[in-house]
A and B are shown apart, each in its own frame.
Chain A
């Protein structure tokens, strides 16, 4: 069973608020990822990290930012939430070998 956790699972928040979505994994994986998933759509990579102090933007432009101060922790922050940020955000991690990515259960964000 995968040991990757996302909190909160669900979040409804007002426009303009600052939010941080948490993602933690206890598997010691170097690589971590954030995907954005809209209903009925594919997952889009928005951020990734290959290790501590390493962060890169993904294929889909996002106004969010990430940090990787510790191996196990990869939080995503929106400085000023907007309704267009309403989506599901999935965090994943994998080790440096070419094996599977493990996914968290996701955070469903609604900005009103």
Chain B
């Protein structure tokens, strides 16, 4: 069965600092990969997705993610974090585009 691991429950970074959120998945083939962001009391918003091709994908709000097949990872990065980036971030995978499997999420706190 597919599974998604986000090893960091909470991360705190200073405003302006770089950010990397980790995501590892367990699946035999390359699944479709997603990063979503959830602000308090809101639904999930898609940041970026990887289906195939270039392993470095660009998303909204200045985020990017790199797919590394050898490490079964899809880490999310941002070079300079803004206070408005404070939210919870979810990595998700799907094998066939039907059902999404989510990680437990990483709560990002930004200190000024």
Contacts and interface: CB of A to CB of B under 8 A. Distances in A.
Interface of A: 2, 4, 6, 9, 31, 33, 35, 40-45, 48, 50, 58-59, 90, 92, 94, 97-106, 108
A93 B71 CA distance: 30
Interface residues of B, number: 26
A100 B32 CA distance: 10
Given A31-B98, A40-B105, A59-B101, 19 more contacts: A9-B41, A33-B99, A42-B103, A43-B44, A45-B99, A50-B98, A90-B44, A97-B97, A98-B32, A98-B94, A100-B49, A101-B46, A101-B100, A103-B36, A103-B43, A103-B45, A105-B42, A105-B43, A106-B43
B51 interface: yes
16 contacts: A33-B99, A35-B102, A42-B90, A42-B104, A43-B90, A44-B102, A45-B101, A48-B99, A50-B98, A59-B99, A98-B51, A100-B34, A101-B100, A106-B41, A106-B42, A108-B41
Nearest to A48: B99
A58 B49 contact: no
Contacts of A59: 99, 101
B9 interface: yes
B109 to A, nearest CB: 14
B27 to A, nearest CB: 15
